[in-house]
């Protein structure tokens, strides 16, 4: 299991490594041990984990469930008719954004569309 332990000012010389060494060693195949990157600098954060959207048929409805990037977020479920289109629109029937990570849409209103969920930090 890989995990980040911490940032440090000093480590043992044996921990000096590189991403290339990591890829070529047993660490990438479940090996155990510690490795550090002495000559690298953090230049930016990559952001929160991606949102995962699941659309599940539930009797006469479509159930939309999505992951949460953390606390204090609001969500807008959007759709469009074609991937070529750039016009995403919030689904009708709700006062978007909402604080929940689940939405149910009657299948009678669910035309063949593409869906996405947009997360934004809550202003509350």
DSSP label at residue 120: E
* Residue 87 predicted with pLDDT over 80: yes
Question: How do the domains of the chain map onto residue ranges?
Answer: 1-43, 53-121
End-to-end alpha carbon distance in the chain = 37
Task: State the pLDDT at residue 96.
Answer: 93
| CATH match of 53-121 with 3.30.300 | no
Condensed to tens digits (0 to 9), the pLDDT of residues 26-67 reads: 554 555 677 788 887 777 766 666 788 998 988 888 899 998
Task: State the pLDDT at residue 45.
Answer: 66
> Tokens representing 24?
């070529």
Q: Find residue 66's DSSP bridge partners.
A: 53
Cα–Cα distance measured from residue 82 to residue 68, given in angstroms and rounded to the nearest whole number: 26
pTM of the model: 0.57
Cα–Cα distance measured from residue 28 to residue 46, given in angstroms and rounded to the nearest whole number: 22
Task: State the pLDDT at residue 50.
Answer: 76
SS3 29: helix
């Amino acid at each position: 299991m890989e995990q980040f332990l911490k940032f440090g000012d000093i480590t043992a010389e044996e921990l000096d490594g590189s991403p290339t060494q990591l890829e070529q060693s047993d660490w990438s195949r479940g090996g155990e041990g510690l490795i550090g990157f002495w000559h690298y600098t953090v230049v930016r954060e990559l952001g929160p984990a991606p949102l995962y959207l699941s659309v599940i048929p539930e009797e006469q409805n479509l159930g939309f469930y999505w992951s949460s990037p953390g606390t204090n977020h609001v969500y807008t479920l959007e759709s469009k008719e074609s991937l070529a289109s750039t016009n995403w629109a919030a689904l009708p029937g709700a006062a978007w954004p909402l604080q929940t990570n689940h939405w149910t849409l009657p299948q009678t209103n669910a035309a063949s569309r593409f869906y996405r969920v947009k997360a934004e930090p809550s202003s509350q």
